[in-house]
Amino acid sequence: MSRIAPCFEALRAAGRKALIPYLTAGDPNPALTVPLLHALVAAGADIVELGVPFSDPMADGPVIQRASERALAHGVTLASVIDMVREFRSEDRATPVVLMGYANPIEAMGLARFVAAAQAAGVDGVLVVDYPPEECGSYVEALRGAGIDPVFLLAPTTREARLRRIAQAGSGYLYYVSLRGVTGAAHLDLDEVERRLPLVRAVSALPIGVGFGIRDAASAARAARFADAVVIGSRLIEELERSEPARAAERLQAFLRPIRAALDARAREAVP
């Protein structure tokens, strides 16, 4: 069993919402990734998403594309990302880690080898953007057999029949893409997200995380009104791009802590 379900259960019991920051492994350099993950947890992250760099990240906007390019220039591979998780686990046995990326690196490594390595390193979930639920039965079966959650994306255009299929295939949580576009796009429409989430909840009891457009404490707090988690990626990477490496952890914490505070303030307001 992964750490994800117990994490959400504990948060629900406390009346809190999950904060899930995303970083691209190896950006700005591989030596910083694990310290940055620890810094995010110290700043209030409940789950961390660790991006596997890929040369053609079709769902990602220019910010995460640049992060992948920097990581690839340092020679970061799927195997080295898994090693980073193993190093993180040597000090943090509690925080769930979700790998996010694309099918090509997994196919190159081989599914069985990937799942075995991810399990041994302490990976809790895997989100592969281009594994459609209709065509990845062996992938889902292999992950679940290893106690790892297959996490799937939901789009604003996903129809009800496909929602049901995704809900059956996924576990851990569902990742609702809050806009029609790539990561980091500016045209966030949380009103539409709020209208759509009851349809998702009607077909699945899994927690729902909202991402692809959350950029600050205000948008995070608003999304937390109707979602179980908020995911923030591109804005964190923008902060990294503006920071000297020696100050990167401090800068990310300074950005994330007000978001954590806003989510907790929203939770306190909801208590009768």
| Distance (Å, whole) CA 191 – CA 178 | 10
Residue-number span of the structural domain to which 10 is assigned: 4-260
In a domain, 161, yes or no: yes
Residue of 27, 46, 60, 228 with catalytic role:
60
Whole-model pTM? 0.94
Best CA proximity match to 99, nearest among 203, 201, 22, 187: 22
At residue 250, does pLDDT exceed 60?
Answer: yes
Q: Is 49 assigned a catalytic role? A: yes
The CATH number assigned to the domain holding 43 equals: 3.20.20.70
Percent of residues, the chain, with pLDDT higher than 90: 78
At residue 179, does pLDDT exceed 80?
Answer: no
Residue of 9, 27, 46, 49 with catalytic role:
49
At residue 193, does pLDDT exceed 60?
Answer: yes
Q: What is the pLDDT of residues 85-96, one digit of tens each?
A: 999 999 999 999
Phi/psi-derived region of residue 172, left when phi > 0, alpha when psi is between -120 and 50, beta in every other case: left
Count up the domains in the chain and report the number: 1
For residues 36-59, average pLDDT: 95
Q: How confident is the model at residue 182, as a pLDDT? A: 42
In a domain, 82, yes or no: yes
In a domain, 269, yes or no: no
At residue 171, does pLDDT exceed 80?
Answer: yes
Q: How confident is the model at residue 254, as a pLDDT? A: 97
In a domain, 272, yes or no: no
Q: Is 241 assigned a catalytic role? A: no
